[in-house]
Amino acid sequence: DYITKEIRQSYNYLETQLRRLPKNQAVRILIVDDSPATRKHLSNLLQRHKYKVALACDGLEALEQLNIYPDIKVVICDNEMPNMDGITLTAKIRQTYSNEELAVIGISSSKDNQISAKFLKSGANDYISKPFYPEEFYCRLSQNIEMLDAIATIRLQANSDYLTNLPNRRYFFEQTQLNIEKNVQAQHSTILAMIDIDFFKAINDNYGHDAGDEVLKGLADHFRLHFSEHLIARLGGEEFAVYFKQSTSAEASQQLEAFRMSVELNSPSFSSKKIPFTLSIGLADSNETNVDAILKIADQYLYQAKSDGRNRLIT
């Protein structure tokens, strides 16, 4: 009923913009509104721009839909609804989903001039008052999605190693520390390994730095293949680490030994110059409560593997 001629014209304008923005296609938007007419209207607007849509008529259904569809990026949330109002729902959503992973946009025709502040204070990313022009609706929606995408990209870059795309030292320390705290609570020891390429400097010296890089990338792929169920990282240089989730130290030891032998056998296939190399590995099984202390133990075993002649696992 609030679709005026002007608003229809702005549809057409955005329609042409849309053809240049196919990236909207994968994004799902959840509409939460008790009015069937509003749900229909908003879902038409979204489908015009090829957004995927999920619908909920109240707060409880909204929480269910969020569970069902992990690809929901934005919740468009009415305020006045039976059982739970939109501001309360927003606060509830924030107990589980941060505003950096899921955007909530409050939307209301309320005459309360504090309504937008209330939505924002309870954790909404944005607010749109009704009636609105579709142009504003689409702009706010796409800006919120762009912001989520930018944050996700930055987060990924901050946590991964540029050369190999493996998780980096920062991520490994953060995640392993969290896991250690869980292990301590459950009275489990923590099992982690440090792995270092033998005589890597000689590879750079003999074949060049680019060939050295190729070896590191090839080895990273081999890690992904062998330890997909555990946490792997490039700690720096030619040094890697594995945190073993739910393994005994015997299982970890067996897996590492198989990996060491597989690298000894297959390393020439990792690089175009067919460079053979081996690994030295230190494995720690410890009840220490912080990641530095446990890595230090693994590093001591690694040092021993080096001094005992390399190409071996010490535990």
Query: How many other C-beta atoms are found inside a 10 Å radius of the C-beta of residue 247?
Result: 17
Quick one: which of 45, 143, 35, 147 has its CA closest to 99? 147
Instruction: Quote the distance between the C-alpha of residue 312 and its chain's center.
Output: 34
Cβ nearer to ligand GH3, comparing 93 with 275: 275
CA distance 218 to 220: 5
Instruction: Choose from Mg ion, ligand GH3, none: what does 34 bind? Cβ within 5-8 Å by kind.
Output: Mg ion
**Which residue(s) pair with 126 in the sheet?**
105
Report yes or no: 168 and 233 within 8 Å, Cβ to Cβ: yes
**Contact partner, 212, from Mg ion, ligand GH3, none, Cβ < 5-8 Å per class:** ligand GH3
Pairing mode, strands 231-236 and 239-243: antiparallel
Is residue 196 near Mg ion by the rule CB under 5 A? yes
Burial class for 185, CB neighbours closer than 10 Å (0-12, 13-18, 19+) = exposed
Is 106 a binder of ligand GH3 (CB under 6 A)? no
User: For the chain, how many helices (H) and strands (E)?
Assistant: 11, 10
Q: Among residue numbers 162 through 191, which ones bind ligand GH3 (CB under 6 A)?
A: 163
Closer Cβ to ligand GH3, 155 or 209, answer by number:
209
Q: What is the size of the binding site for Mg ion (CB under 5 A)?
A: 9
Per the document, the length of the chain is: 315
Select from 34, 213, 288, 299 the one that contacts ligand GH3 (CB under 6 A).
Answer: 213
Binding partner of 306, given Mg ion, ligand GH3, none, CB within 5-8 angstroms per partner class? ligand GH3
Give the interface size with ligand GH3 as a residue count (CB under 6 A).
Answer: 16
In the chain, the amino acid numbered 106 is G
112 to 151: interface string for ligand GH3, x by CB under 6 A: ----------------------------------------
- CA–CA distance, 112 with 127 (Å, rounded to integer): 13
| Of the candidate residues 11, 69, 173, 200, the single one contacting Mg ion (CB under 5 A) | 200
Q: Taking CB under 6 A as the criterion, which residues in 230-259 touch ligand GH3?
A: 237-238
Token couple for 58: 């109240």
Rank residues 213 and 299 by Cβ distance to ligand GH3 and give the closer one: 213
What 3-state class would DSSP assign to 69? Answer: coil
- Our finding on whether 282 is near ligand GH3 (CB under 6 A) is no
Figure out which of the listed residues 53, 148, 197, 281 binds ligand GH3, where binding follows CB under 6 A. 197
Binding mask 121-150 for Mg ion (x = CB under 5 A): ------------------------------
Are the C-beta atoms of residues 266 and 211 closer than 8 Å to each other? no
**CA-CA-CA-CA torsion sign (215, 292, 229, 97):** negative
300 in contact with ligand GH3 (CB under 6 A): no
Rounded Cα gap, residues 107 and 66, in angstroms: 18
In the bound state with ligand GH3, the residue whose beta carbon lies nearer, of 180 and 194, is 194
**Min. distance of Cβ 184 from ligand GH3 in angstroms?**
32
Residue by residue, DSSP assigns 223-261 as HHHH-TTSEEEEEETTEEEEEPSS--HHHHHHHHHHHHH
Using CB under 6 A as the binding rule, whether residue 212 contacts ligand GH3 is answered as yes
In whole angstroms, how close is the CB of 198 to ligand GH3 at the nearest point? 4
**Interacting residue ranges for ligand GH3, rule: CB under 6 A:** 163, 196-201, 204, 209, 212-213, 216, 237-238, 306, 310
Give the interface with Mg ion as residue ranges (CB under 5 A). Answer: 34, 78, 80-81, 196-197, 200, 238-239
